[in-house]
Structure 1
Amino acid sequence: MANNNLPTRLYRAKQVRELDRVAIEEQGIPGFTLMRRAAKAAFTILLAQYPEPEKLTIFCGTGNNGGDGYAMASLARQRGLEVALIQCGDAGKISGDALQARQHALQDGVEVTDFSADLVIEQGVIIDALLGTGLSGDVRGVSAEAIGLINSLDLPVLAVDIPSGLCSDAGRVLGNALYADHTVSFIGLKQGLLTGAGPDYTGALHFHDLSVPETVFQQVASSSERLDLPQLLAQLPARQASAHKGHFGHVMVTGGDSGMAGAAAMASQAACRVGAGLISCATRPEHIPAIIARSPEVMAHGVISGQEIEPLLAAASVVVVGPGLGQGAWGEQLLQKVAELTVPLVVDADALNLLAAGRVIKNRQRDNWILTPHPGEAARLLGCSTAEVQQDRFAAAAELQRRYGGAVILKGAGTLVADDENSQVGLCPYGNPGMATGGMGDVLSGVLGALLAQGFSPAQAARLGVCLHATAGDRAAVQGQRGMMATDLLPHLRTLINQLA
């Protein structure tokens, strides 16, 4: 679930270093001052979460992240807390602001112990100040040992700036990473904390800009954007008193092969709940009674060939293709007819797999569709492995959009949206693990179709749609994440699009 107090601007490590440089060299803020501000911010959050820690054990590396740890140790000593500082790596390599922080800590009476694998820690809070954003390769040596030890402890952990071993740019684990209960990020919020494996290791995410002037941020462009649902919903116009169903589009859901009727049914229901004027569903004839019984508002049509769907498609202003489509001859025929249309499309599930195979859709790029791959489907579309997609989800989303056009939604923890209207990839900060269940993608497809039908561009629909869908998931999860079903989102979708609009 999202922390709405976080900034919308997200950065890669290189850009954060540039923010530091501008603040120091052009704004005249000493680097040691920034380090002390970071320590104070982290220490304040530490005490807010753990008001009476029995002991603080601070693991420090040899870089500026370690310097933050030394500065926190000084603050803890000044407050009268018991502090143990564990130096990981050769202290002789510490230099600059970090060295100054170390000297201050020693003057304040902080006792420093070199790391040992047989170190025993039985109480208190762990502070991770081992490795920061400068890490490029896999964690090795004493840092890897320290991370392993900390992860083996049943004690709360606060990470300074970023959990050690996590790639701040892409959210992937660099060999081994530390599991934090809280992470305090500084100056520029690192995009890798919010997607991929990032949420698994970050815990509760906090941010402090270290009182750096806004002019600094204006000089360094961010790399991506944290999406905000209320801002996106503000684009939804009020309905006129004279409105009728024809003003809000006609969504045609195409899919539901044998054994997968539910996928088409859920997509159709979601389109209803998000405000499309008319909803049709083209599916296997044997599925019609079940769909009508569930949603009599849906105009369900049984089709057995691509030829039979042609007159139905002629009435649609938007087509959602893929939920339960299958990759057999029936699905291929329906997709072929859909691909001939010029209306906006939502392409999901097996329609994406057929697109990747290249057997059906010859024009593999258009500006009025939304593609919704999960990492496995994205890998097939890009001709690479799922692991390669997850290595840098931001780059994968951008490459998908470059190749296929329109808007691309790369699903997963920290869902990403790349489109042709915004220069930056958008990151959805909402959602929860309870949504890892069958049918969630079908509901999303229906949401997207309904937004397109109401006049949103693919970029607008994709950004709003993922946030609306994920927030509905968060509301459904109030009753517990385990056991959530995709249809649990439906009543929340309607409430959200009306209450927040």
Structure 2
Amino acid sequence: MRRLDRHCPDLPLFDVAHTRRIEAAALAPLPAHALMQRAGAAVARLALALAPHARLIRIVAGTGNNGGDGIDAAIHLQHAGKAVEVILLGEPQADDARDALARAHDAGVPVHAAATSALGAQDLAIDALLGIGASRAAEGKLREAIAALNALPCPVLAIDLPSGLAADTGQPLGEAARATQTLSLLTLKPGLFTAAGRDHAGTVWFDDLGIDTTREQPEAWLGGAAIAAAPARRHAQHKGSFGDVAVVGGAPGMGGAALLAGRAALAAGAGRVFVEMLDAQAPALDPARPELMLRPGWSRHVDPATLAHSTVVCGCGGGDSVRTALPALLSNVARLVLDADALNAIAADESLRRQLRARAARAQATVITPHPLEAARLLACSNPAIQADRLAAARRLADEFACVAVLKGSGSIVAAPGRVPCINASGDASLATAGTGDVLAGWLGGHWAQRDEADALERTWHAARHATWWHGAAAEAAARPVLRAAELIEQMALR
């Protein structure tokens, strides 16, 4: 069993259909009821570790195998000397769950149709209602049971998945449990880590129940710290060894966005950073970071050969003005990060969309970094449609525009054509402040300019994954409820 956090290695994520196939294959060689008994033992171990001083542990069990896991856990907890009660919503419908209930009766575990005592803050409730079985909004007694769990004053441990949360997408299906901790069993599910999943799951734990799934093709990866290392810097290298980055943005009233992106590119280690402010009245110097070279009209005046070897971050605070800079950048730049207003301009202009799609055929690499509303504009759909299935939306973005897509939000997703997408494991709500997206785009460009993988797609993929993980990890390490964008840059620079 392991606790999952930003430092976890890359781990496979499986959707419900694949999880059921893995479960069926795992059951075949095992004695009857063995897998459920492993699950119950795992739940009991975690419950004892989380609430060693609980006066009472309540298991709220449904009629399926998730309920059976909870009932089996109750047997182990009672054997460990804990006071337990099982609230059973109905007669078990699965053989394994019926066996668990029979053994619970034999062990003298109290089983009731409703709670018989109140829980205090030191106690523990275990959500064993639905697991991956949720397919529609809960109704009747099931909905009431979920609401009662959410009203408890004590921690809630969910088995496999908070009841009412869609395992594949992280979307609540009506009333969904809000767990303090979740123990995912056999496989990890994508919905625990994106959309509303992290708010509902709390801290996620994983136990594979002794089943090897490494030969299976996952639906996605949970991306941890394994990708975070930046290229080593050798003693004899100089600033020219680490690439040039240009930031194009900063229309009137939005100059701060371009400066934040430029500062982040510098902090990431780019050798030189130019900033083309689209505001003709912008200052010629960033007093806080005089290392930045502010170059009005850079994209119009630089020769095509330089563009063909450049890493450019375009769109941060670009406003409507960025539209005129995009055709040359899309046509000529070797490595292009498109963010914010650059994406809005492309979404509204079919000629720019065609230019973006054509870049891959010329071996020009692109990373787009939309938040959900920008993604909705690019895909001509609604923001709720993006959030309803973030993995599918990220894949569509990558395939539609033949690029690496970073769909930002809770559980940011990195996707690329022909690759299994990655849900980022780092980050928290302290990033929900103005300018943090500009920092991500700038850091991505600064890091990308330095990478040296021979394969262009590998280089792009690793740069996007590194920047996304590092961005979130720095926010978590800062341990503040709110993190200003300029402070985020300094935190990211603390390697």
Whether these two folds match at TM > 0.5 is yes
Q: Secondary structure at the match of 1:281?
A: strand
CA distance in 2 between counterparts of 1:193 and 1:31 reads 29
Choose which of 302, 325, 331 in structure 2 pairs with 1:334: 325
* 1:86 has 2:90 as partner: no
CA deviations on 1:188-226 (whole Å, 9 max, x unpaired) are 1111101110000101111111122x3xx1442211111
Q: CA deviation at 1:359?
A: 5.5
Choose which of 417, 442, 446 in structure 2 pairs with 1:446: 442
CA deviations on 1:310-343 (whole Å, 9 max, x unpaired) are 12374451110000000x2x22112233223242
Q: Secondary structure at the match of 2:183?
A: strand
CA deviations on 1:139-176 (whole Å, 9 max, x unpaired) are 22211111111112222111111100011111110111
Find the counterpart in structure 2 of residue 499 from structure 1. none
CA distance in 2 between counterparts of 1:269 and 1:313 reads 24
Find the counterpart in structure 2 of residue 318 from structure 1. 311
CA distance in 2 between counterparts of 1:273 and 1:418 reads 25
Find the counterpart in structure 2 of residue 462 from structure 1. 464
Find the counterpart in structure 1 of residue 456 from structure 2. none
* 1:189 has 2:188 as partner: yes
CA distance in 2 between counterparts of 1:489 and 1:398 reads 28
Q: CA deviation at 1:450?
A: 1.1
CA distance in 1 between counterparts of 2:241 and 2:426 reads 30
CA distance in 1 between counterparts of 2:145 and 2:303 reads 61
CA separation of 1:282 and 1:313: change in aligned 2, threshold 3 A:
farther
Q: Secondary structure at the match of 2:384?
A: helix
Asked if structure 2 preserves the Cα contact closer than 8 Å seen for 1:251 and 1:320, the reply is yes
Asked if structure 2 preserves the Cα contact closer than 8 Å seen for 1:285 and 1:301, the reply is no
Asked if structure 1 preserves the Cα contact closer than 8 Å seen for 2:10 and 2:223, the reply is no
Find the counterpart in structure 2 of residue 4 from structure 1. 7
CA distance in 1 between counterparts of 2:303 and 2:371 reads 27
CA distance in 1 between counterparts of 2:261 and 2:32 reads 53
Choose which of 266, 269, 274 in structure 2 pairs with 1:272: 266
Q: CA deviation at 1:292?
A: 2.3
CA deviations on 1:345-384 (whole Å, 9 max, x unpaired) are 0000011111111166142313310000111111111111
CA distance in 1 between counterparts of 2:383 and 2:40 reads 38
* 1:384 has 2:361 as partner: no
Q: Secondary structure at the match of 2:332?
A: coil
1:217-296 pair list within 5 angstroms:
217-229=213-225, 231-234=226-229, 236-283=230-277, 284-289=279-284, 291-296=285-290
Q: Secondary structure at the match of 1:292?
A: coil
**What stretches of structure 2 of length at least 5 have no aligned partner?**
453-458
Asked if structure 2 preserves the Cα contact closer than 8 Å seen for 1:2 and 1:431, the reply is no
Find the counterpart in structure 1 of residue 169 from structure 2. 170
Asked if structure 1 preserves the Cα contact closer than 8 Å seen for 2:245 and 2:273, the reply is yes
Asked if structure 1 preserves the Cα contact closer than 8 Å seen for 2:224 and 2:426, the reply is no
Asked if structure 1 preserves the Cα contact closer than 8 Å seen for 2:262 and 2:442, the reply is yes
CA separation of 1:208 and 1:3: change in aligned 2, threshold 3 A:
farther
* 1:404 has 2:401 as partner: yes
CA distance in 2 between counterparts of 1:260 and 1:340 reads 25
Asked if structure 2 preserves the Cα contact closer than 8 Å seen for 1:252 and 1:313, the reply is no
Q: Secondary structure at the match of 2:329?
A: helix
CA distance in 2 between counterparts of 1:135 and 1:158 reads 17
CA distance in 2 between counterparts of 1:360 and 1:220 reads 41
CA distance in 2 between counterparts of 1:6 and 1:58 reads 32
Asked if structure 1 preserves the Cα contact closer than 8 Å seen for 2:427 and 2:475, the reply is yes
Q: Secondary structure at the match of 1:408?
A: strand
Find the counterpart in structure 2 of residue 417 from structure 1. 414
Q: CA deviation at 1:250?
A: 1.1
Asked if structure 2 preserves the Cα contact closer than 8 Å seen for 1:354 and 1:360, the reply is no
Q: CA deviation at 1:468?
A: 1.3
Asked if structure 2 preserves the Cα contact closer than 8 Å seen for 1:6 and 1:206, the reply is no
CA distance in 1 between counterparts of 2:17 and 2:114 reads 30
1:108-147 pair list within 5 angstroms:
108-115=107-114, 121-123=118-120, 124-147=123-146
- Higher deviation after alignment, 193-202 or 365-374: 365-374
Q: CA deviation at 1:493?
A: 2.2
CA deviations on 1:233-278 (whole Å, 9 max, x unpaired) are 44x4323333222222111100001111110000000000111111
Choose which of 13, 19, 30 in structure 1 pairs with 2:22: 19
CA distance in 1 between counterparts of 2:395 and 2:351 reads 24
Find the counterpart in structure 2 of residue 39 from structure 1. 40
CA distance in 2 between counterparts of 1:4 and 1:184 reads 18
Q: Secondary structure at the match of 2:133?
A: coil
Find the counterpart in structure 1 of residue 455 from structure 2. none
CA distance in 1 between counterparts of 2:9 and 2:289 reads 39
The two structures have a TM-score, normalised by structure 2, of 0.92
CA separation of 1:253 and 1:48: change in aligned 2, threshold 3 A:
same
Q: CA deviation at 1:451?
A: 2.0
Q: CA deviation at 1:447?
A: 0.9
The count of corresponding residues between Structure 1 and Structure 2 is 474
